[in-house]
Amino acid sequence: MNTLLKDYYTSLHIDERVFDYCQKIEDSLKDRFAAIDAICEINQMKVIKAMQDNRLAEAHFAGSSGYGYTDDGRDALERIYADVFHTEDALVRSQITCGTHAICTALFGNLRPRDELLAISGKPYDTMDEIIGLRPSPGSLAEYGVTYAQVDLTPEGEFDFEGIRNAINEHTKLVEIQRSKGYAVRPTLSCEKIGEVITFVKSIRPDIICMVDNCYGEFVQDKEPTDYGADLIAGSLIKNPGGGLAPIGGYICGKKEYVENAAYRLTTPGLGKEVGASLNNTKAFTQGLFMAPSVTASALKGAIFAANVYENLGFKTVPNKTEDRFDIIQAVELQTPERVVAFCEGIQAAAPVDSYVKPVPWDMPGYDSPVIMAAGAFVSGSSIELSADAPMREPYAVYFQGGLTYQHAKFGIVMTLQKMVENNLIVW
Ligand SMILES: *Cc1c(COP(=O)(O)O)cnc(C)c1O
């Protein structure tokens, strides 16, 4: 039955034993995959309905140049995003350069001198350090007189409700919650848990803006943080919601006033959402959003497949092979530098682009140990495409995410195991 598939795998240098082992793992995951498909279908319907309700038309793909006044396609896309995330308004722009920029724009747009930003899921993602001013940086919120406070999650990874109550004061203007664990060692937060804490914050002071860093979380569940009371969410289009087709961009969705404030920061006070040519990106953004539910589902299946492949070989995986998933990131603790290198070589060797390249650890600016990265992506740096990276230090954990198709994600993981076997790095 599998002979044709096996022939292809063999022609791509996968041993029969590796292939058979992985096929058995895959066979055991049918129920999990079916549950992901069910969520995917709900999200697909959500996206199609938003496109139909907003009468998306071929004419919208024409794009604009120059100032971008009356760019109907851009405006339609923003109404579609607002409908998908059930918010009053949305800002979805090529001029938002990345996820960090989207979050930064939302923060600067809504915070004023003497306001306090309160992070309640622990220290935010690394790239936020300079924005907040945790690491002194020209142009930081700190330089503008915006103060910062932080409440860590409990050791169990839960919100610290008492700590949050104590941290809220008269200057607290905006509460920041990070849905995905990013590269921290803590569980990712479900929308349900985020909803509970937002209700709690609002019960103390209803006027506090609750903002969620939604990176890597979009379409993983059948609801989003905005369905649970979040006033603002922000993320990157070269992660989940761009569906692998967006070549650049970021989004901010939420209450009209807060999205407008962000727009006045992105462009200028006065101009706001009125300017910002879409160039030729509207088609890729809309088609990417259309693909996003199934691309996200593919990435999730790949992550679960990997957790099962490696946990059954005795390695620690985070999340583990049976846990519920709230983002698309998978960590595998490989214990030795040789295995980390082999894993990354496997991901690279399975890529559609740059598959002949051999990744090597290097001293990346801003990191305290060498980092190895594997990616063979159509969009440079895109982490919704299959990619892996790891700092070369204990416990030699490799983080990987993405996969525009499950079949590619699976092949990537199979190839990582092949590299382990070829280099005698596992006992089985
Ligand atoms: C990726 C990510 C960001 C930053 O997005 P970039 O596009 O890399 O700037 C912020 N927060 C989280 C949780 C992320 O995963």
236 CA to middle of ligand 1, Å? 7
Residues 212 and 355 in one domain: no
Average pLDDT of every residue of the chain: 96
Q: Quick check: is 427 in a domain?
A: no
Q: pTM, whole model, 2 decimals?
A: 0.96
pLDDT in the model for residue 185: 74
Residues 399 and 250 in one domain: no
Find out whether the beta carbon of 106 lies less than 6 Å from any atom of ligand 1: no
Residues 317 and 341 in one domain: yes
200 CA to middle of ligand 1, Å? 26
Residues 338 and 392 in one domain: yes
pLDDT digits (tens, 9 = 90+) for 406-420: 999 999 999 999 999
Residue of 189, 159, 211 lying closest to 329 (CA atoms): 189
385 CA to middle of ligand 1, Å? 14
The domain of 216 spans 44-289
Find out whether the beta carbon of 147 lies less than 6 Å from any atom of ligand 1: no
Length, in residues, of the chain = 428
Find out whether the beta carbon of 176 lies less than 6 Å from any atom of ligand 1: no
Task: Kindly give, in sequence order, each residue whose CB lies less than 8 Å from that of residue 220, ignoring residues fewer than 6 positions away.
Answer: 39, 240, 296, 300, 325, 326, 327, 328
CATH code of the domain covering residue 237: 3.40.640.10
Whether the pLDDT of residue 155 is over 90: the answer is yes
4 CA to middle of ligand 1, Å? 40
105 CA to middle of ligand 1, Å? 13
Of 242, 270, 289, the last residue of a domain is 289
User: Tokens for 207?
Assistant: 């006027």
183 CA to middle of ligand 1, Å? 10
CA 106 to chain centre: 17
pLDDT in the model for residue 1: 59
Residues 23 and 57 in one domain: no
Task: Kindly give, in sequence order, each residue whose CB lies less than 8 Å from that of residue 148, ignoring residues fewer than 6 positions away.
Answer: 116, 117, 118, 119, 132, 133, 134, 141, 142
Confidence band of 182 (pLDDT split at 50, 70, 90): confident
Percent of the chain past pLDDT 70, that is, above it, reads 100
| Sheet containing 232-236, strands listed edge to edge, beginning at the edge strand earlier in sequence | 89-93, 250-254, 232-236, 209-213, 172-178, 116-119, 147-150
CATH code of the domain covering residue 302: 3.90.1150.60
Q: Quick check: is 276 in a domain?
A: yes
Cα pseudo-dihedral 40, 46, 51, 55, rounded to 10: 150
Ligand 1 atom nearest the C-alpha of 103 is: 10
Ligand 1 atom nearest the C-alpha of 235 is: 5
User: Tokens for 153?
Assistant: 């999650």
Q: Quick check: is 153 in a domain?
A: yes
- Which phi and psi (to 5°) does residue 382 adopt? -65, 125
Q: How many domains does the chain have?
A: 2
**Nearest residue by C-alpha to atom 5 in ligand 1:** 99
* Helix and strand totals (H; E) in the chain: 12, 12
- Which phi and psi (to 5°) does residue 126 adopt? -45, -40
pLDDT in the model for residue 307: 98
User: Tokens for 320?
Assistant: 């583990």
Task: Kindly give, in sequence order, each residue whose CB lies less than 8 Å from that of residue 291, ignoring residues fewer than 6 positions away.
Answer: 243, 244, 245
Q: Quick check: is 301 in a domain?
A: yes
Of 226, 254, 289, the last residue of a domain is 289
Task: Kindly give, in sequence order, each residue whose CB lies less than 8 Å from that of residue 414, ignoring residues fewer than 6 positions away.
Answer: 9, 14, 18, 19, 22, 350
14 CA to middle of ligand 1, Å? 34
Whether the pLDDT of residue 64 is over 70: the answer is yes
**Nearest residue by C-alpha to atom 6 in ligand 1:** 99
Find out whether the beta carbon of 127 lies less than 6 Å from any atom of ligand 1: yes
pLDDT in the model for residue 224: 98
Whether the pLDDT of residue 367 is over 80: the answer is no
**Nearest residue by C-alpha to atom 7 in ligand 1:** 99
Find out whether the beta carbon of 214 lies less than 6 Å from any atom of ligand 1: no
Q: What is the mean pLDDT of residues 121-147?
A: 95
Task: Look at the block and give the residue holding tokens 């279908």.
Answer: 41
- Which phi and psi (to 5°) does residue 176 adopt? -110, 130
Of 245, 271, 289, the last residue of a domain is 289
Residues 227 and 246 in one domain: yes
Pairing, β 89-93 against β 250-254? antiparallel
pLDDT in the model for residue 44: 98
Q: What is the mean pLDDT of residues 203-229?
A: 98
Q: Quick check: is 428 in a domain?
A: no
Find out whether the beta carbon of 215 lies less than 6 Å from any atom of ligand 1: yes
Whether the pLDDT of residue 366 is over 80: the answer is no
Residues 309 and 231 in one domain: no
Q: Quick check: is 225 in a domain?
A: yes
Ligand 1 atom nearest the C-alpha of 250 is: 7
Find out whether the beta carbon of 182 lies less than 6 Å from any atom of ligand 1: yes
Find out whether the beta carbon of 236 lies less than 6 Å from any atom of ligand 1: yes
Find out whether the beta carbon of 180 lies less than 6 Å from any atom of ligand 1: yes
CB of 188 closer than 8 Å to CB of 223: no
Residues 236 and 252 in one domain: yes
**Nearest residue by C-alpha to atom 2 in ligand 1:** 215
User: What separation in angstroms does the CA of 322 have from each of 33, 92, 299, 306?
Assistant: 12, 35, 16, 12
Find out whether the beta carbon of 251 lies less than 6 Å from any atom of ligand 1: no
Find out whether the beta carbon of 125 lies less than 6 Å from any atom of ligand 1: yes
Find out whether the beta carbon of 235 lies less than 6 Å from any atom of ligand 1: no
Residues 349 and 206 in one domain: no
125 CA to middle of ligand 1, Å? 7
Find out whether the beta carbon of 216 lies less than 6 Å from any atom of ligand 1: yes
Pairing, β 250-254 against β 172-178? unpaired
pLDDT digits (tens, 9 = 90+) for 68-112: 999 999 999 999 999 999 999 999 999 999 999 999 999 999 999
pLDDT digits (tens, 9 = 90+) for 249-284: 999 999 999 999 999 999 999 999 999 999 999 999
Confidence band of 404 (pLDDT split at 50, 70, 90): very high
